[in-house]
Structure 1
Amino acid sequence: MPSHDDRDYEANGYLDGRASDDEGPEASNASSPRIHVRSESPGSQDAYFPVPVWLRESSKTFHWKWVPLRVRKAARATAAWCKGPDPPQMQKITPFFPSVQEAPIRIIDRFLPRTVHKAGLLLFFYFCWLLTFCLVLNHSASAGYIKGYGKPSPVWCGANYWASNNGCGLNGNQCRPFDNATFAFRCPANCARVKVLNPHAVGKQEINYRQFVIGGHNGSGHGNDAIESVYRGDSFLCQAAIHAGVVTNAKGGCGVVELDGARDSFPSVKRHGITSIGFDTTFPKTYKFVAGLSADCVKDLRWPLLAVTVGFTTILSLCTASPLVFFWSLLAMLFFHVGLVSDPPNNSDYASLSSLIIGRFLPAAFVAFVIYRYCVKPQLTALTAQFEKTILWLGGAWVGSLNNYTFDFIPIERLTPHDLQVQPGARLALVIVVLLLFSIALGQVWYLRLEGRLPRYLAIYAIFVTFLILCVALPSLNLRIHHYVLALLLLPGTRVQTRPSLLYQGILVGLFINGVARWGFDSILQTTAALRGDGQLNSLLPNVTAPILGASNITFSWAIPPRPWDGVSIIVNDVERHRWYYGEGHNSHTFNRQDNDQKAYFRFGYMSGSRSGDFTKAGVWDVDGSWTTMKPGPSR
């Protein structure tokens, strides 16, 4: 028998059989001994009383004696705390000013008491939104007309005239013509937010996590005149148009770009919120924008369309208390608004874009059914706080759906280990986000405990964590948490009907909508190649010996490439100028200086057939004839 000090005279052990029977792994209803007491009063039935904890733990059938007593007591206390109060305290929002918040529902019930009348009004509401939305969208989609150049073609924000490294082939021949050509284009709004997400070499510079506009000097070096603003051919066209003042970031617009041949200097200029990149030597393909156009160009109408959809969703939220009507109506309206207006995928025309969004909506609806059944419906059932629901849930949904605007300030482009290490401010931002989520989770844990649901949800999230750990352990695959996945992971914790949960659930549903409408159901497990995109391959770099310098020439030699590489590509001033393959003469090449006043930047990379690996960083042949050796490491 245990000593008196070891006996656990907890009240639960004597008075509350339910609490002690289920505590921890040390006890089960099937094996716990009980005291059988026969009542002295006639007519009473036999009563069973639970055995005290200390007596049960002294039994030979108790298998957890190896666990220290303090640990067992802490485990029992934790389990009892997680179960919450008895009876559970179900959370329910009591509206502020209930007569005001319930007024829209009472008015509809008064004038439309029958369900068929309400259904007819709802269908008419859908028709009005769809008609207004389609008319404004059709007007916005019409590309307009530019006199002398015809109908401008839609382009996406990252379109340009030049492929990186040797993508344009030897001397850039695959990206011709270099001059004497024009192109009428139309840019969408919000192109200034687009950034390169992998290092791009511009001379000896490595450009990453910033806009990609090179040059833009207008002769005087200041002002907003677009006539003489000349840009390198690989500059993002729409960002260059914003920089030149041809279009605006808020509304997009139309313009005509004219190829302008080779230029030998591209000074850095800051205009219209974009600071261009400088480049101090020759590039064969440049462009500028044609001024003085007579154009009938419709601006991007995403903001008027936002006002339309926000207005209709607000009316719907105020006038319905049905979770079914509320959720599915808002899901469809927000999904198509995001996919077609506020954050559309990169498509050249609205027909293909509409087809893509409809294809993404159907599987999203199946996932949304699970969200509705287990998260949204329990929270919104019997909720009559119409204005609070509209402000918190619907407002949060719009914040999440407009993720490309509302959360664009967070310096985390992709939630990958590489980006977190390289992107400035990403690690600090991640720490802040994690701490914020942790503080929110503590509040949700408290409410789930009050409702007696915490043990069940702890089990659910234990399954989630186990699954993510297994994903991390899989070889040759990388775990990537997209924001639609993050929303699905966090939504179960927003089931309770509290004001904070209304806001959190709305934001998470909005993030789910934005993620699927914009990017689709991108895999949570991705290969290294898919995750890398156009980034560095970490491939072997050529072994280039010290060059031989002449009065106006420079000669390079390199070691024979190891397998599987069979050639060497040499990039001069970001244009491929020489390609050598094994068996094609000596493994060396001499370059003659074309302009004694211009620097030359050399980068070297291995070839395997037509496929190239990483290139070295740039070595510099200066105007005084000196040579600056390449720094270690790859460029891209």
Structure 2
Amino acid sequence: MPPAADHAGPYSNHDEPDTGHGAEEDEEAHLIPSERFEIEDDGDAGVRRGRGDYGDTDSSQGQRSFIQKWTRRPYPLRPHTIHPIWPGIQQVPARFLDRVATSKRRKIGLLVGATIVWALLFLLGLSSQFPLTDGTGQAVINLDCVDTLWGYKNSCGLGGIDCRPFTNDSFAFRCPANCRGVMVLNPRAVGPVEVNYRPLVIGEGPYRADSFICGSGIHAGVVSDEKGGCGRVTRAGEYTGFLDSEKNGISSIPFNSYFPFSFSVEKDGSFSCPSSPRQPLLLLSLLFTATISIFTPAPSLFFLLFTTLFLHVSFVSDPPSASYHTPTVLPDHLSTFSSRLLPALFCATVLYRTTIHRTLSGLTAPIEKTILWLGAWWFGALSNYTFDWIPIQRLTAHDLEQQPGAKLALVGILILLVFIIVQQIHAFWWEGRLARYLALYALFIGGILFCLLIPSVNFRIHHYILALLLLPGTGMQTRPSLVYQGVLLGLFVNGVARWGFDGVLQTSGELRGDAAVGGLVPNVSMMGFGAEMMGSRGVTFEWEMDGAMGVGMHGISALVNDVERFRGFWEEGEGEGEGVGEMGTGVKNGEDGQDGDAEQKGHFTWQRDVGLEVPEYFRFAYVRDGLTLDYTKAGVLWPNWTWTDIPDT
């Protein structure tokens, strides 16, 4: 090679980037001396690379594909390093610490002391969740955001027997903060409609018994969404005509008929209710972690930060559900925290050794690290607040189809991910690590495809799975990588602390929860009205039994105004409930007028007061092995004794 070409450097070709500007950039990509990397071992061991190319001769370059050229190492390599903005200012905290603590032992003592102070103040804040008693000496009940007095579908039994008493009872309660945005994620029947993706608050006071109690408290102005609060629930018995209204950020749902159980929510001044410690404890934990991040550059303090954020999510910002109607949530939260922390720390150790240490090691910009990396970490850990505006509750086909704006939001997220992935691929290529990471992600994709092929289970990408998959792609020292890594660490912490290590493979039953089973529903017809007797008339319904018995159904359930009023089984010949039901045998005529094959039919007669001035809503469902399957849509019996047929499902 001529001397002039040798002195021109590796980027003398006008198509290559000019690295002479690298020293002026904040994120400098250093040129590694060519003498150290002239011999490569990535498939052509012992072959000397030319200095003006990427290891290929001119003839071979034309034969190699685009992918082959871009997965090979560039020459020379350019590992990324962040050069701090205003380095003198960013080093002030470290210099101050060196003056205050002149030895390593004193610095460790300060760290231990700061941690103890934070822990004591944190425990003091949690003391507001200790058990309370009201003015009568009864325990104040801690509620979750979705707690109700009435169960879903027919879980309260015939006539609501399992949810009594309906009246003459009250109790003091306490709600957590941030309940206003909690909504039902599967359709719930409210008379003629099915509500979804909104808070389940029915009425404007009194409220129907299947309303969220805490949501009703916010709607009534008794409970604050920002701080939570306490109040008193009074069981008010039957109520007719639940009106809708919008108060305090919640739009309630109307119901224009009667329901046997309602409740009211009022303030209770007989005891002092401490407000939620979320805001003061958030400020405390933010201050503690920011101080650690700014004053101590050691990457290993990542584990202290990890434990702090995990503890904060588990007890304060997004704690898991506790036992039903418990006087205090602390024992449940402590039990859940202890069961999830150790496996989470194991994952954190693997992430630290493979990814995080590479990003933080040698970083001399503590203020930028605190803002970009730690700030993004908190942003992800508080995803129940920061990502609450995204209209995607669960990444399932059903939710994407039903929830307004979900598809558009998913498209936006995918576009953003593509941009980030391309950016990270380019950065990995300059560091000469692209081929290795492409192989790793090929392994990830292969594992995902394998899981998708397994029958009878569904593949789910939870918060923590998404973080584990994407975090290896942030293992470099650039400012964007600090942000991406922080957000993903936050999603991991929030996902595990709140929901635990849910399986990657889940059955349809696990995913369904209280959603529709998607099976057979009864074909019910209204046969007619009976004569008036003692101020009421009967309306009779009929259904065919042969087809249901042939597919293993054992009985049928009937809801009237969303309350189970009848349940019957084929073998017993009659049912139980407030209506009259029977599983009889009818006769079907043959073509020649003679009796043909007997066709079994079932009947249910409901007695309605003649003077009732509100409609009634009827739904029917099959029962199999003690489990009630999907109910039909609502048929309507109007006050003028006209009938609207049950719509097709």
Match of 2:86 in 1: 97
> Cα offset for 1:22?
8.6
Moved more, 274-283 or 286-295: 286-295
**TM-score, structure 2 length as denominator?**
0.84
Match of 2:19 in 1: none
Match of 2:606 in 1: 591
**5+ residue gaps, structure 1:** 1-10, 36-49, 57-71, 217-228
**TM-score, structure 1 length as denominator?**
0.86
Match of 2:318 in 1: 343
Moved more, 347-356 or 546-555: 546-555
Match of 1:132 in 2: 121
CA–CA separation in structure 2 for the residues paired with 1:351 and 1:164: 27
Does residue 438 (structure 1) correspond to residue 427 (structure 2)? The answer is: no
Match of 1:185 in 2: 173
Match of 2:29 in 1: none
Which amino acid in 1 is paired with 2:438? Answer: L
> Cα offset for 1:550?
4.2
Match of 2:431 in 1: 451
Aligned residues of 1:142 and 1:298 also touching (Cα < 8 A): no
Aligned ranges 1:104-183 → 2 under 5 Å: 104-138=93-127, 140-148=128-136, 150-183=138-171
Match of 1:45 in 2: none
Match of 2:645 in 1: 629
CA–CA separation in structure 1 for the residues paired with 2:404 and 2:146: 22
Partner of 2:412: helix, strand, or coil? helix
Aligned ranges 1:158-307 → 2 under 5 Å: 158-216=146-204, 229-291=205-267, 293-307=269-283
CA–CA separation in structure 1 for the residues paired with 2:80 and 2:434: 14
CA–CA separation in structure 1 for the residues paired with 2:464 and 2:375: 18
CA–CA separation in structure 2 for the residues paired with 1:610 and 1:397: 47
Aligned residues of 1:145 and 1:296 also touching (Cα < 8 A): no
Equivalent of residue 541 in structure 2, options 535, 546, 556: 556
Partner of 2:519: helix, strand, or coil? coil
CA–CA separation in structure 2 for the residues paired with 1:488 and 1:607: 42
Partner of 1:80: helix, strand, or coil? helix
Aligned residues of 1:472 and 1:479 also touching (Cα < 8 A): yes
Aligned residues of 1:262 and 1:284 also touching (Cα < 8 A): yes
Aligned residues of 2:232 and 2:268 also touching (Cα < 8 A): no
Q: How many residues get paired?
A: 568
Match of 1:507 in 2: 487
Match of 2:450 in 1: 470
Aligned residues of 1:190 and 1:252 also touching (Cα < 8 A): yes
CA–CA separation in structure 1 for the residues paired with 2:268 and 2:403: 41
CA–CA separation in structure 2 for the residues paired with 1:120 and 1:362: 26
Equivalent of residue 521 in structure 1, options 498, 501, 506: 501
Match of 2:72 in 1: 83
CA–CA separation in structure 2 for the residues paired with 1:185 and 1:386: 45
In structure 2, relative to structure 1, the CA distance for the partners of 1:305 and 1:620 (3 Å cut) is same
> Cα offset for 1:21?
9.6
> Cα offset for 1:558?
0.8
In structure 2, relative to structure 1, the CA distance for the partners of 1:103 and 1:51 (3 Å cut) is closer
CA–CA separation in structure 2 for the residues paired with 1:575 and 1:286: 13
Partner of 1:288: helix, strand, or coil? strand
In structure 2, relative to structure 1, the CA distance for the partners of 1:474 and 1:292 (3 Å cut) is closer
Aligned residues of 2:166 and 2:262 also touching (Cα < 8 A): yes
Aligned residues of 1:20 and 1:53 also touching (Cα < 8 A): no
Deviation by residue 1:287-315 (Cα, 9 ceiling, x = unmatched): 01245633211111100100100011111
Which amino acid in 2 is paired with 1:588? Answer: H
Partner of 1:268: helix, strand, or coil? coil
In structure 2, relative to structure 1, the CA distance for the partners of 1:79 and 1:628 (3 Å cut) is same
In structure 2, relative to structure 1, the CA distance for the partners of 1:114 and 1:335 (3 Å cut) is same
Deviation by residue 1:489-535 (Cα, 9 ceiling, x = unmatched): 11011111011111111111011000000000111111000000010
> Cα offset for 1:112?
2.4
Match of 2:618 in 1: 602
Match of 2:594 in 1: none
Which amino acid in 1 is paired with 2:87? Answer: P
Aligned residues of 2:633 and 2:646 also touching (Cα < 8 A): yes
Match of 1:332 in 2: 307
Partner of 1:545: helix, strand, or coil? strand
Aligned residues of 2:216 and 2:265 also touching (Cα < 8 A): no
RMSD over aligned Cα, in angstroms?
2.3
Match of 1:535 in 2: 515
Partner of 2:242: helix, strand, or coil? coil
Which amino acid in 2 is paired with 1:305? Answer: L
Which amino acid in 1 is paired with 2:523? Answer: N
Which amino acid in 1 is paired with 2:320? Answer: P
Equivalent of residue 567 in structure 1, options 552, 555, 568: 555
CA–CA separation in structure 2 for the residues paired with 1:314 and 1:29: 48
**5+ residue gaps, structure 2:** 1-12, 14-34, 49-54, 532-536, 575-581, 585-601
Which amino acid in 1 is paired with 2:82? Answer: I
Deviation by residue 1:113-149 (Cα, 9 ceiling, x = unmatched): 32222211111111111011111111x2134443236
Which amino acid in 2 is paired with 1:142? Answer: F
In structure 2, relative to structure 1, the CA distance for the partners of 1:21 and 1:508 (3 Å cut) is closer
> Cα offset for 1:29?
4.7
CA–CA separation in structure 2 for the residues paired with 1:160 and 1:589: 30
Moved more, 77-86 or 352-361: 77-86
Partner of 2:109: helix, strand, or coil? helix
CA–CA separation in structure 2 for the residues paired with 1:600 and 1:184: 33
Aligned ranges 1:354-369 → 2 under 5 Å: 354-369=334-349
